[in-house]
A and B are shown apart, each in its own frame.
Chain A
């Protein structure tokens, strides 16, 4: 028996799937899209991670520790004694800084002065890519420069060319002695817009005599760090790399979870297709069961059906995922670039683990989605399998049971949110429970909604409306799933939209309130993460600029990277008057109370993310590493800061001078006198600074625009994921409608036989799908709002420590209808047309 029936069942499945190519196609596409999104996000994340590791490796090589000092740099005399200390395997002196490329005044070039003999063991890739270049000349020839090929192309330079740069206000001639092959991303990343020179040339170019900007060392394992002067500091490189990875972890986790939502919708489609195929073959299944096929055999066969759809879907999904991943990688990297640090990616590694994971998820999801239908088919008695009404009866009862489960799951989700502690994982678990629960309630709510609408429809909707509305709960086993899938997809889109819009609105308001100066002047020193900000404003220059006609008042600031035990944070030093201080967006504590203490150095301010991460409140103390030792300072207030989720600390210039023994400032915020033209003042400032300055001038407007631009770029990834969710939902609803229409072939044929025209039938079908879309849209409103709430107040807060003002504009929530109804109608058009065109006789004869 076994040998006979298994091929028989298999053949029945194959025939069925081939006989319904659209259904089969959609199921495959559904799972493919789900797998594609998960795989793409995974690959993009992996690619970004690899780029991050490579970039750290490119910049630090085999360095274990970096010695940095006060803004003036390290005394060069420290290098000799340090070089051959017990435990120091390698040590390399570095002098770096910036020069201007005069043909394009905005173009700044990074000068990296190295001692190749000391550097090669630490960063071998530089030398490995110098084939054909006589590296000796870099050391022996003053002004000799090495460039990466890409940089040379960018600047229009070739080997042996001379170039003139503007350094410290003076014109300097340099000679390109060779181009480094930059096929290796290490080179490309590490040496972008960089002039590699000898440490002697760097000192001569940058007027940095007697000093080094840093010393990179490789410490023998287990050896103690050499002793250094008080105002010098060791930075562990491993620590840096880890910090960078953990920095972006929340961001990457968020993306992964969002991609899983797409897979969930894909599962709906498979579930739908298999359930439908079982329903369509109930008769055959009943017959086979009556003939003695065991439950185990049947179950195995139905699960095999899931694989028949799942395997091609998964394979297709992997291919799509690779393609989509390449696009996503660019967006992910751009976000990391904007939010965290400079990163460039030249290729996406095809991480086989990510592909394996995507494949297993696809197959697993297919099997999971098949299980309920298979189990149901196996569980029913052979006799009842032969009747159709039993199914819909069971479904009607099931709706209530499933609904109860759904309520329970949402309850659990809320409980998880309410749990003490701020675990991100708990947040995601809550999100999962909430979404699943909501999806399970949808069919029940749909029935209730239809019941509520029916009296109205009977009165105003005509016979067609009544018929269309009535058919929705009548085919609950199909419509319930379709509407649930659409609701979840639309709610996801709206929820994510709510998050992004709220975020943007909050940031916009924050920028509005905190950027209170009209013009910002800075040294333009981009943060390379070295922890040294070489660029400080000359006190004389500050005085000159402060007295330019039209300048009303000036506030000074400085950003210093602070390497605390828990990672890098930003230290903002402020020298401002009361009105500027009060502009800070206080979330706890207030400006008035903390001002005197802040000025005297008794109190510091910290950002919300830092308060969140370290569990700090106003009045608690924070330990800050300073050149004069570790100091515990009292927190006088907590402010909003969306610049970086790593957190920041703000102290007064007095405090800085006191503990850091440093008084220099790096940025100026200038307020223009009432009535003065900002652009005029800006022009005067630029002129006063002189042509050779490397200063960066930004107007308030420009800064705000740039900030929001960065913000929008950052969220481009989520926009893509939202779009993909809608596409998947579209395929989901299409499948479901297809199923319904196919199943109702006979019913519709009866309508036709009774005299309904093709056109009327088409319109009725569309009306039905429109109603389903409308229901999904309505139900997605509260669900989308709820999802948005969880994303904003739970997921975002637990990931980044930013509290956002939820955007309560009704328009966003109303979007649900705008998305759901057109999606449903678009998806329903093809099945509706197909059905309407079927000749009644044929339809009546078919599938009996």
Chain B
């Protein structure tokens, strides 16, 4: 009899199991690559490409360049609470994507060929918190847009607005808030525009056209407010502003890039990038720019910089391993620093792009003196299928 009970129990379990398995939700689940599907890559044939250095005009070039497929206004910075010195890192980026080159005038104001994507990220090192948000909008009505003069780029109530200064050394005001995180910052450039690469043409691979037009404001004195974890902090610090537009920057054999924007305590700023190759992951095309305290620019050749990553961190959300500490040397300049993230997890796992963009601190030697500083590192293209 006992044996029968077991059989019955087993039978009931089988039935219940089948019922549970059968009644699973038929509705499709959210697919985070939806908007990627919509925007797609498409063909780039009609878009302009960066073949040669351009003639630069400011303030016009602060504004949009819709004949190129992609463009960004990229702010990163390290801020410290005025009273306690508590560290915050922030990233605010507005991406512009062109869906088509032809911009026909249409009777409906909703008609558009341009889309903005916005990223806002805040690193609260004390709390160990990293929060990031993403927005999309068509560039239409006043939903989103970009204007060179008077300078203004926006997506909904996220906006970066010019507040004066010389065209090549402007001041701006940033406002962005989302779900309990907010930044309200006023930014004053203390060094003028730096044209990256060859007079602003940043070649990403030997193939012509695989390049971008690229300039930076490497040092902006930043003051204002940060809201995080339900508290409001008065902060001050330094920001870095990058502007880049292109149609195609990666070559077939390239996997991604590492980008370093470092602001040293002795007034020097440094931008270094490494384009990683798919075929040989340890093979790079690299370059960079060194800016002295007065704003004088030195372009760094491919072999002038040595970067070695010494540790790695695996993202718990995506499982992707990222390098997480670097040793950077410019032997000719006697620069030798160690770069450490303020927080290991500063990964933006987002719809269109997945990247690690994090606040870092720097210590080491520059010339004969020890030096410290802060900066931002961007790691793009990790975890892609080879």
Contacts of A128 in B (CB 8 A): 28, 31, 34
Given contacts A117-B137, A124-B30, A124-B31, contact A356 B38 (CB under 8 A): no
Q: Taking the complex as formed, is B99 at the interface, i.e. its CB lies under 8 A from any CB of chain A?
A: yes
Q: Mark A70-90, 1 if CB is under 8 A from B, else 0.
A: 000000110110011010000
* A497 CB, min distance to chain B CBs, angstroms: 38
Tell which of B75-83, B106-114, B193-201, B290-298 binds the partner. B106-114
Task: Specify the main secondary structure of chain B where it touches its partner.
Answer: loop
- Which residues of chain B (35-82) have a CB below 8 Å from chain A? 35, 37-40, 42
Please tell me if the beta carbons of A204 and B113 are within 8 angstroms of each other in the complex.
Answer: no
Q: Taking the complex as formed, is B385 at the interface, i.e. its CB lies under 8 A from any CB of chain A?
A: no
* B38 CB, min distance to chain A CBs, angstroms: 4
Contacts of B99 in A (CB 8 A): 136, 139-140
Minimum CB distance partner of B97 in chain A: A136
In the complex the two chains form, what is the Cα distance from A134 to B30 in whole Å? 20
CB within 8 A of B38: which of A83, A117, A349, A350? A117
Tell which of B14-22, B123-131, B255-263, B266-274 binds the partner. B14-22
Please tell me if the beta carbons of B28 and A80 are within 8 angstroms of each other in the complex.
Answer: no
* B116 CB, min distance to chain A CBs, angstroms: 10
CB within 8 A of B107: which of A120, A136, A209? A209
Please tell me if the beta carbons of B157 and A352 are within 8 angstroms of each other in the complex.
Answer: no
In the complex the two chains form, what is the Cα distance from A127 to B136 in whole Å? 16
Please tell me if the beta carbons of A80 and B142 are within 8 angstroms of each other in the complex.
Answer: yes
* A112 CB, min distance to chain B CBs, angstroms: 14
- Which residues of chain B (81-108) have a CB below 8 Å from chain A? 99-100, 102, 104, 106-108
Minimum CB distance partner of A125 in chain B: B28
- Which residues of chain A (318-368) have a CB below 8 Å from chain B? 349-353, 356
Tell which of A195-203, A270-278, A374-382, A524-532 binds the partner. A195-203
* B301 CB, min distance to chain A CBs, angstroms: 40
Q: Taking the complex as formed, is B23 at the interface, i.e. its CB lies under 8 A from any CB of chain A?
A: yes
Minimum CB distance partner of B112 in chain A: A139
Contacts of B329 in A (CB 8 A): none
Q: Mark A115-140, 1 if CB is under 8 A from B, else 0.
A: 11110110011011010001111011
- Which residues of chain B (337-383) have a CB below 8 Å from chain A? none
Given contacts A199-B110, A200-B106, contact A124 B156 (CB under 8 A): no
- Which residues of chain A (175-220) have a CB below 8 Å from chain B? 184, 186, 198-201, 203-204, 209
Q: Taking the complex as formed, is B1 at the interface, i.e. its CB lies under 8 A from any CB of chain A?
A: no
Q: Taking the complex as formed, is A57 at the interface, i.e. its CB lies under 8 A from any CB of chain B?
A: yes
Please tell me if the beta carbons of B156 and A83 are within 8 angstroms of each other in the complex.
Answer: yes
Q: Taking the complex as formed, is A450 at the interface, i.e. its CB lies under 8 A from any CB of chain B?
A: no
Q: Taking the complex as formed, is B314 at the interface, i.e. its CB lies under 8 A from any CB of chain A?
A: no
Minimum CB distance partner of A130 in chain B: B37
In the complex the two chains form, what is the Cα distance from A767 to B173 in whole Å? 103
Q: Taking the complex as formed, is A142 at the interface, i.e. its CB lies under 8 A from any CB of chain B?
A: yes
Please tell me if the beta carbons of B19 and A115 are within 8 angstroms of each other in the complex.
Answer: no
Please tell me if the beta carbons of A84 and B22 are within 8 angstroms of each other in the complex.
Answer: no
Q: How many residues of A contact B (CB 8 A)?
A: 46
Contacts of B143 in A (CB 8 A): 79-80, 83
Q: Taking the complex as formed, is A54 at the interface, i.e. its CB lies under 8 A from any CB of chain B?
A: yes
In the complex the two chains form, what is the Cα distance from A350 to B22 in whole Å? 9
CB within 8 A of B108: which of A83, A184, A203? A203
* B31 CB, min distance to chain A CBs, angstroms: 6
* A288 CB, min distance to chain B CBs, angstroms: 23
Please tell me if the beta carbons of B141 and A76 are within 8 angstroms of each other in the complex.
Answer: yes
Please tell me if the beta carbons of B30 and A121 are within 8 angstroms of each other in the complex.
Answer: yes
Q: Taking the complex as formed, is B132 at the interface, i.e. its CB lies under 8 A from any CB of chain A?
A: no
Please tell me if the beta carbons of B28 and A352 are within 8 angstroms of each other in the complex.
Answer: no
Contacts of B109 in A (CB 8 A): 76, 200
Please tell me if the beta carbons of B112 and A200 are within 8 angstroms of each other in the complex.
Answer: yes
Please tell me if the beta carbons of A80 and B141 are within 8 angstroms of each other in the complex.
Answer: yes
Minimum CB distance partner of B29 in chain A: A124
* B192 CB, min distance to chain A CBs, angstroms: 34
* A198 CB, min distance to chain B CBs, angstroms: 7
Please tell me if the beta carbons of B37 and A352 are within 8 angstroms of each other in the complex.
Answer: no
Please tell me if the beta carbons of A77 and B141 are within 8 angstroms of each other in the complex.
Answer: yes
Please tell me if the beta carbons of B110 and A200 are within 8 angstroms of each other in the complex.
Answer: yes
Contacts of A203 in B (CB 8 A): 107-108, 110
- Which residues of chain A (100-126) have a CB below 8 Å from chain B? 115-118, 120-121, 124-125
Please tell me if the beta carbons of B38 and A136 are within 8 angstroms of each other in the complex.
Answer: yes
Contacts of A93 in B (CB 8 A): 110
Please tell me if the beta carbons of B34 and A353 are within 8 angstroms of each other in the complex.
Answer: no
Please tell me if the beta carbons of A136 and B100 are within 8 angstroms of each other in the complex.
Answer: yes
Q: Taking the complex as formed, is B213 at the interface, i.e. its CB lies under 8 A from any CB of chain A?
A: no
* A704 CB, min distance to chain B CBs, angstroms: 41
Please tell me if the beta carbons of A80 and B156 are within 8 angstroms of each other in the complex.
Answer: yes
Contacts of B110 in A (CB 8 A): 76, 93, 115, 198-200, 203
Interface hub of B28, B40, B100, B102 (most chain A Cβ within 10 A): B28
* A590 CB, min distance to chain B CBs, angstroms: 51
In the complex the two chains form, what is the Cα distance from A186 to B25 in whole Å? 13
Q: Taking the complex as formed, is B188 at the interface, i.e. its CB lies under 8 A from any CB of chain A?
A: no
- Which residues of chain B (2-28) have a CB below 8 Å from chain A? 15, 18-19, 22-23, 26-28
Given contacts A80-B143, A117-B137, contact A140 B100 (CB under 8 A): yes
Q: Taking the complex as formed, is B219 at the interface, i.e. its CB lies under 8 A from any CB of chain A?
A: no
Q: Taking the complex as formed, is B115 at the interface, i.e. its CB lies under 8 A from any CB of chain A?
A: yes
* B43 CB, min distance to chain A CBs, angstroms: 9
Given contacts A84-B157, A140-B99, contact A124 B19 (CB under 8 A): no
Given contacts A136-B99, A139-B112, contact A57 B23 (CB under 8 A): no
Q: Taking the complex as formed, is B135 at the interface, i.e. its CB lies under 8 A from any CB of chain A?
A: yes
Given contacts A80-B141, A117-B136, A352-B19, contact A135 B40 (CB under 8 A): yes
* A53 CB, min distance to chain B CBs, angstroms: 9
In the complex the two chains form, what is the Cα distance from A209 to B29 in whole Å? 34
Q: Could you pull out 20 A-B pairs where Cβ atoms are within 8 angstroms?
A: A54-B27, A57-B27, A80-B142, A80-B156, A118-B136, A124-B29, A124-B30, A127-B31, A127-B34, A128-B31, A135-B40, A136-B38, A139-B99, A141-B100, A142-B106, A201-B108, A203-B108, A204-B107, A209-B107, A356-B15
Known: A57-B27, A124-B30. 13 other contacts (CB 8 A): A79-B141, A84-B156, A84-B178, A134-B40, A140-B113, A141-B100, A199-B110, A200-B108, A204-B111, A209-B108, A351-B22, A351-B23, A352-B19
Counting from the closest, the 4 A-B pairs by CB-CB distance are: A200-B110, A84-B156, A200-B111, A200-B108
**A-side interface residues toward B, CB under 8 Å?**
50, 54, 57, 62, 76-77, 79-80, 83-84, 86, 93, 115-118, 120-121, 124-125, 127-128, 130, 134-137, 139-142, 184, 186, 198-201, 203-204, 209, 349-353, 356
